[in-house]
Amino acid sequence: MDIDTFYEQNEARRESAEFEFGSEWTDAADNEYELSWVEATGELYLMVEPDAVITEDAFGDFLVLDEPASELTVVIIGKVSSLASLEDQLQGWEDAMLEEGSLSWLYERFPQTT
C-alpha cells in the first residue's frame, strides 16, 4: 500500500510517535528501505522509495525531487508491543543493515505469516 493509504486506514498511526531504525536496508536487488515502528499500533513497517530523481538547476546546484506519496510503498512486517521489546529483537541492527541483502537478517527476526 502507499504511505497515504497506510495512514488513512488508521488515524492512530498518523498521531503516534514513530521510531526509525535505519534507512539503508537492502533486498537482493539492492533496493533501499526505511524501517520504522509506530508506537500506538506496535506496527513495524518498511517503506521503499523509488529511485530518487536528481536534477541540476540553472546555478549548478543539485536538487533531489520529492517523490509523490503514491510512490512510497509501505509493508507491515510485524507487531511489537513495546519499544524495549523491539530494541531487544533488533539488537545489532546498525551493523546488520549495512550488509548486502540485509532484509534477510530482518525477516529472520520477523518471519512473515501467510
pLDDT tens column, 21-52: 999 999 888 888 999 999 999 999 999 866 54
In a domain, 72, yes or no: yes
When divided into structural domains, the chain yields a total of 1
**Per-residue confidence band for 73, with pLDDT thresholds at 50, 70 and 90:** confident
What is the structure's pLDDT at 70? 57
**Per-residue confidence band for 63, with pLDDT thresholds at 50, 70 and 90:** very low
Choose between 37 and 72: higher pLDDT. Answer: 37
pTM for the model stands at 0.80
C-alpha cell at 5: 493509504
What is the structure's pLDDT at 58? 56
In a domain, 27, yes or no: yes
C-alpha 35/C-alpha 91 separation (Å) is 14
Longest dimension (CA), the chain: 52
What is the structure's pLDDT at 42? 97
Q: Which domain holds residue 64?
A: 3-109
In a domain, 59, yes or no: yes
**Per-residue confidence band for 68, with pLDDT thresholds at 50, 70 and 90:** very low
In a domain, 10, yes or no: yes
| Chain-centroid distance, C-alpha 35 | 3
Which residues have a Cβ under 8 Å from the Cβ of 84 and sit 6 or more positions away?
none
In a domain, 114, yes or no: no
